[in-house]
Amino acid sequence: MMPFSVREFEALARDRLPRYAYDFIAGGADDEVTVRANEQAFARLRLLPRVLRGQPGRDLGTTLFGAGITMPVLLSPTAFHRLADPAGEQATARAAAKAGTVLIASMASTVPIGDIATAGGADLVLWFQLYIQPDQAVTDALVKRAEDAGCRALVVTVDSPVLGWRQRDHHNEFHDLPAGLYCENMRGLAGDSGVRSIAMVPELSWEHIDRLRQTTELPIVLKGLMHPADAVTAVEHGVSGLLVSNHGGRQLDTAVAAIDAVADVAAAVDIPVLMDGGVRRGTDVVKALALGAHAVGIGRPVLWGLAARGEEGVLDVLELLRGELDRALALTGCASVRQVTSDLVREVRC
């Protein structure tokens, strides 16, 4: 069956993946309230279309830190792509390059960042997601690896001073990567224990961001920030962009839906605000833009595409969303993503 939506890709992926891998991807923290809330919150937002604004076509393109991308849909960082397909992040990179959008490679990739960059080629706009490590030398080495690979931004995940309680992984006893898979970016660095060697840092603070700011010229994007007061502080610390996110509901359960945090953060700062969590349709993208996001990220949908059909599946997911976004713009009376305004969205009680 040819899938015609992200949801149908999920069904295909579920059939293909071993249970532990499906659960790792689909699951979240504790009772998974926030996993569900991320999607439900989009359903609560409804569009109020404009009509009779005749237009021959739509312009979906936008720019981020000087790079042009063909649509405001990014690939959010997700760990361990080789759980979904043997070609792993290399397949994902080729699809992102073909689609003409940003791949935020996870620090926990199963292909080294240099090889991801090579697979994507010159067309790929590649960013690197970083978990700041307890050993500064390890963080510095990771930043150097990202810079050497040609990454154009660092996305620092700040919602994980400790790891969320992923109950499904505990039930499945999924604590180590299967034989042959490795956190490749950690290879050879101090403390590399071979498998899941990434450490969470409970004492993570603005001082770590200041230090990182001094270490690299790359734009720094903070990922996992939800509170407008933190957004203001981020700007004071020289941060270049924000990715409003609750980690797809995998960290703090019962955190507010990511889309519900966007408007206040966007109103508080003048730097690009991105969001991820629960984006499954082109209409979701329009809603996020209407609330002030510059672009959105997708996490699980990429892995559903990858598990279902490898590189082609990731590209299919991206092109499905592009088609949906294009249609949603036409149907709301917008000729470009820049024309999406806050009056196009209303909140209803479900």
Ligand X SMILES: CC(C)CC(=O)C(=O)O
Ligand Y SMILES: Cc1cc2nc3c(=O)[nH]c(=O)nc-3n(C[C@H](O)[C@H](O)[C@H](O)COP(=O)(O)O)c2cc1C
Show which residues are catalytic: 247
Q: Which of 250, 280, 300, 322 binds ligand X (CB under 6 A)?
A: 250
Pairwise CA distance, residues 293 & 266, whole Å = 7
Residue type, 14: R
Q: How far is the CB of 27 from ligand Y (least distance, A)?
A: 8
**Residue 245's binding partner out of ligand X, ligand Y, none, with CB under 5 to 8 Å set by partner kind:** ligand Y
Pairwise CA distance, residues 259 & 64, whole Å = 20
> Would you say 107 or 337 has its CB closer to ligand Y?
107
Q: How far is the CB of 252 from ligand Y (least distance, A)?
A: 12
Residue type, 276: D
108 belongs to the binding site for ligand X (CB under 6 A): yes
> Would you say 62 or 197 has its CB closer to ligand X?
197
Instruction: Tell me which residues touch ligand Y (CB under 6 A).
Output: 24-25, 38, 76-79, 106, 108, 129, 157, 223, 245, 247-248, 250, 276-279, 298-300, 303
> Would you say 101 or 251 has its CB closer to ligand X?
251
Q: What crossing angle do the helices spanning 282-290 and 33-44 adopt, rounded to 10°?
A: 80
Q: How far is the CB of 240 from ligand Y (least distance, A)?
A: 17
Q: How far is the CB of 79 from ligand X (least distance, A)?
A: 4
Which residue has its beta carbon closest to ligand Y?
Answer: 299
> Would you say 293 or 303 has its CB closer to ligand Y?
303
**Residue 198's binding partner out of ligand X, ligand Y, none, with CB under 5 to 8 Å set by partner kind:** ligand X
Residue with tokens 């490749």: 184
Residues between 150 and 179 with contacts to ligand X, criterion CB under 6 A: 163
**Residue 283's binding partner out of ligand X, ligand Y, none, with CB under 5 to 8 Å set by partner kind:** none
Q: How far is the CB of 331 from ligand X (least distance, A)?
A: 34
Q: How far is the CB of 297 from ligand X (least distance, A)?
A: 13
Concatenating the DSSP letter of every residue in 268-311 gives H-SS-EEEESS--SHHHHHHHHHTT-SEEEESHHHHHHHHHHHH
Under a CB-based contact definition with an 8 Å cutoff, are residues 271 and 233 in contact?
no
Using CA atoms, how far residue 225 sits from 137, 186, 200, 211, 262, in Å, is: 25, 25, 16, 19, 10
CA-nearest of 287, 271, 286 to 325 is 286
Q: Which of 119, 198, 315, 321 binds ligand X (CB under 6 A)?
A: 198
> Would you say 157 or 283 has its CB closer to ligand Y?
157
**Residue 3's binding partner out of ligand Y, ligand X, none, with CB under 5 to 8 Å set by partner kind:** none
79 belongs to the binding site for ligand X (CB under 6 A): yes
Helix ranges, the chain (H): 6-16, 19-26, 33-44, 88-99, 113-120, 136-148, 167-171, 206-215, 228-236, 258-268, 282-290, 300-332
CA-nearest of 273, 310, 245, 292 to 28 is 245
Name the token pair of 121.
Answer: 């080629």
> Would you say 88 or 278 has its CB closer to ligand Y?
278
Under a CB-based contact definition with an 8 Å cutoff, are residues 137 and 223 in contact?
no
Interacting residue ranges for ligand X, rule: CB under 6 A: 79, 108, 163, 198, 247, 250
